[in-house]
Amino acid sequence: MTIQITIIRIEGYGPWTLSLGSDREARLQMLQSRMYYDIQRLFSERECLVYSNRFDEYFAVSNGLSVAGHINIHNQLANMYPNLELSMTIGKGSTPFEANVSAHRSRQAKEALTTVASIFGHRVMYSSNDSPTEFSLSKSTLAPSLNGDFVQIMHIDVNNSRKMSLDLSPYEVTCLMGKIHTLLSDEFFKKGSMMFFIGGDNFMVISNETTKEEAGRIIDTVGRASGTKLNCGIGRGKNGREAAKNATRALDTIRELREKGMIQSIYEVQ
């Protein structure tokens, strides 16, 4: 079972920001928000899902997206943001973290998959097409049900967060979310998973190879350490959007069961 991760990065972003002068922060915040919108839109149209990492870097769950598809997205973004240089690096692994490391090593080694865009990845994972300078995902990679490619995502939220918002001020809630984020990230990282805060009291974990039982132990441990109760919906699918949809459906099921008096903190949909 493998997962494909694409790391999208704004190259030379730090030096470029300095060229804007000291009164640049509002402009940068607007640019980052607009870029995330466009990157998410273009990838999600191809059944992928993107998470913002450090505002100048993004992680896309890109199972099923070929190098040609990456080139198409890259070219559209280059036209939208002609003053910025973007790169994409594709990695695969049995866990999300392994895929991230695979991509990182390909980028360091400058293993280019095409000459028409800054797209990198291990060439042994791809098959050449008609052009000797272009590479595309092999046919088997485009058939997740045949070769074992799949995505597992967990959607986690804080139980009864509405009451928490009545007891704590907005910034105290933010601090608590930061604590939960750190605790969850540390625990899921031990399993090779990667976690992202997605707003409010919500977190998503790209979690291939992490079992339901392991997730249950993690949310119990973090809940005790943070003084909260956490819910976890687990979803699987052939691509990022399908897995996230199923994870959210699982989380909604936990809420529906609670309304019926059936308390369950973790639920799976696949």
Q: Are residues 97 and 125 in the same domain?
A: yes
Give the pLDDT confidence score for residue 128 in this predicted structure.
39
**Boundary residue ending a domain (110, 127, 147):** 147
CB-based contact 215:206 (threshold 8 Å): no
- pLDDT over 90 at 140, yes or no: no
What is the dihedral angle through the alpha carbons of 28, 34, 37, 42, rounded to the nearest 10 degrees?
-110
Question: Which of 147, 169, 199 marks a domain boundary?
Answer: 147
Which of 104, 121, 147 is a domain's end point? Answer: 147
Q: Which pLDDT does position 164 carry in this prediction? A: 85
Regarding whether 165 and 204 lie in a shared domain, the answer is yes
E strands, the chain, in order: 3-11, 49-52, 57-61, 85-93, 119-121, 126-128, 135-137, 151-158, 194-199, 202-206, 230-237, 266-269
Residues 131 and 63 in one domain: yes
Question: What does each C-alpha distance from 17 to 9, 31, 38, 87, 260 come to in angstroms?
Answer: 15, 11, 20, 17, 53
- Average confidence (pLDDT) over 29-45: 96
Question: Of the given ranges (4-13, 120-129, 165-174, 240-249), which has the lowest mean pLDDT?
Answer: 120-129
Give percent of the chain with pLDDT exceeding 90: 79
Give the model's confidence band at 145: pLDDT under 50 very low, under 70 low, under 90 confident, else very high: very low
pLDDT tens digits, one per residue of 218-256 = 999 999 999 999 999 999 999 999 999 999 999 999 999
Residues 131 and 220 in one domain: no
CATH of the domain at 225: 3.30.70.270
Classify 199 in phi/psi space as left (phi over 0), alpha (psi -120 to 50) or beta. left
Residue 96 has pLDDT above 90, yes or no: yes
pLDDT of 124 reads 57
Q: What's the total number of domains in the chain?
A: 2
Residue 166 predicted with pLDDT over 90: no
Tell whether 142 and 199 lie within a shared domain: no
Identify whether residues 77 and 159 lie together within a single domain. Answer: no
* Together in a domain, 236 and 141: no
Is residue 144 pLDDT above 70, yes or no? Answer: no
* Structural domain span for residue 229: 151-269
- Same-domain check for residues 161 and 140: no
Q: Do 140 and 169 belong together in one domain?
A: no
Reported as a pLDDT band with limits 50, 70 and 90, residue 22 is: very high
Q: Between 212-226 and 170-189, two packed helices, what is the crossing angle to 10 degrees? A: 140
pLDDT band at 1 (very low <50, low <70, confident <90, very high): confident
For residue range 183-228, list pLDDT tens digits in order: 999 999 999 999 999 999 999 999 999 999 999 999 999 999 999 9
Q: Same domain, yes or no, for 8 and 141?
A: yes
More confident call, 248 vs 138: 248
Say if residue 139's pLDDT is above 80.
no
Q: Please indicate, yes or no, whether residues 50 and 161 belong to a single structural domain of this protein.
A: no
- Can you give the CATH number for the domain in which 95 is found? 3.30.70.1230
Is the domain of 237 the same as that of 214? yes
Separation CA 72–CA 223 (nearest Å): 43
